[in-house]
A and B are shown apart, each in its own frame.
Chain A
């Protein structure tokens, strides 16, 4: 019988299943961070249970940590305590812990792939919704709740019902200056924020085949913003080349023996999934969001549409009016970071735009690389110097202004062009207004000090 990519990975991980009920799914990798893990450790302690397989857990700190002076003790007492608790829990249980001063520290969804923890055909979970990022490698990855974190710790398994499957197919190729972020923002704007509830989504089409791994991670990262349980893309040459370059992998065995298996991971061509979407790639243009959910996005040159009452509230929160264009709107903050767009490729795009230019003087531009490894690579390529010269603040890794849990909060009413994944009310700070874009658009806005059409920028310079 023909199988989909999802089926292949799913069925190879089933330990046992109840007829008409949930299945016991074996988990290969478990990432934990400081915010959603303490109660899970507590639970194990009260039940006097041991960690089932400590080698499969990797811990890092990201949500709560400062992005300045990470070598000093954390100022905020609660954040300090959470980091300390995670450190102690890992030490007692023998779990690999990448603390603030560790070379491998960074946002969980960025360090997983770059350290070679994320591999095709795996099942991966983390107590964080954007775990879907790892699907870029052709793995089943999804976010879980705290009780489930303790289940995986105790048994390396989860009880799960098999989700339905959806495929989103892009026909043809995109125009230049359209980045993976624009593609996913476009898809979200079309499918809607609840269009894929209950589904696992596979992305297919030439565009994705030609996309870099970094780009695929950006797409899969935001696949949960259409309500999906997760997203995935079949592994191919690009995936294998990427894995080839990771210096942390034991090359000899891995590549020779694993590759033939990984090559079998794709959806066979004669299958229809539970739901299929087709879009034309050539319709996509640089995108921006104008409202308070990621589905409220449109081409940057369009005017804000007149739509239903629900949107009214959200548009007035943003301080916009129907019928107006965003072009020319002055912006005070630019944030480049988060697990969506803080990889080395994103930094390269930004550096390329801002090279030999200065940011507009009224803009506060923040770059928060996703991990220590990204910083290391950026320094090697001299990107940090280019960025600092252009007036960007170059910070240390963490989630930072993506959710404003540390000090990097935005003031009331401020407009921020952000490369992160959610523009919810107050997410970046009380009353802060977020506009999601690609790093390319964000870099251009930092230089211009206002929103402009990407094509005009290139015409001018």
Chain B
């Protein structure tokens, strides 16, 4: 997983609330057996018409906007639990999503994939939307260590909360798998200690530790 520590970038604002995972990536694009490549279908039905023509009015199609930060309205990522939503955002190039509320499963999926969901107050979110509408070149800085998001070269900042374990993961660029693998020895001992029976017939290995 990629490390995030400090990120300074422009942002792309989509001031819409309740964007569900079906909007982020429609179900018909889930059939791939790879994790990469979903970026091209991110917000598919907002970016293209039925005939596959580019919708100029949609912000992702506007070359004047760019950045690794996505700024969205509250309750982002609700609906189906598909992890593809997080994959497509990451694959498109986003590293941070800022909103005032995220759906639970989306948040977990994002964190598992190196995409940082930042939850800030509704007031500050609206303020960020306002600043970007005045000046689309404005830069935002995210300091994960201090859990701060601020408008670059200004004093306007806000804290965001974060679970300690997940924060360490992102800072080190580690994900759950890395952590679990680092416990390899421990898990092995746990197994041996608690494996009750290990018949040669591997189908029927079972264990307990409650004796």
Chain A residues near B (Cβ < 8 Å): 8, 12-13, 15-16, 18, 20-22, 24, 26, 28, 38-39, 42-43, 47, 49, 52-53, 55-56, 78, 81-82, 85, 96, 116-117, 119, 121-122, 129, 145-148, 150-151, 154-159, 248-250, 253-254, 257-258, 261, 264
Contacts and interface: CB of A to CB of B under 8 A. Distances in A.
B176 A151 contact: yes
B184 interface: yes
Interface of B: 31, 33-35, 81, 83, 105, 108-109, 112-113, 163-165, 175-177, 179-181, 183-184, 186-187, 190-191, 194, 196-197, 199, 201-211
28 contacts: A12-B208, A15-B187, A16-B183, A18-B164, A20-B164, A24-B180, A24-B183, A26-B194, A28-B206, A49-B177, A55-B203, A56-B205, A122-B206, A129-B81, A145-B81, A145-B108, A146-B83, A151-B176, A155-B181, A155-B184, A155-B187, A156-B191, A159-B165, A159-B176, A249-B204, A253-B197, A253-B199, A261-B211
Interface of A is mostly: mixed
Nearest to A152: B180
A53 B192 CA distance: 13
A12 B209 CA distance: 6
A293 to B, nearest CB: 13
Contacts of A157: 180, 183, 187
Given A145-B83, A253-B197, A42 B187 contact: no
A443 B36 CA distance: 46
Contacts of B112: 145, 147-148
A207 to B, nearest CB: 28
B210 A261 contact: yes
Nearest to A86: B33
B192 to A, nearest CB: 12
A18 B176 CA distance: 13
A49 B197 CA distance: 27
Given A145-B109, A159-B180, A257-B196, A55 B35 contact: no
Given A13-B209, A248-B203, 6 more contacts: A16-B186, A49-B177, A119-B206, A145-B109, A148-B112, A257-B196
A249 B204 CA distance: 7
A248 B204 CA distance: 9
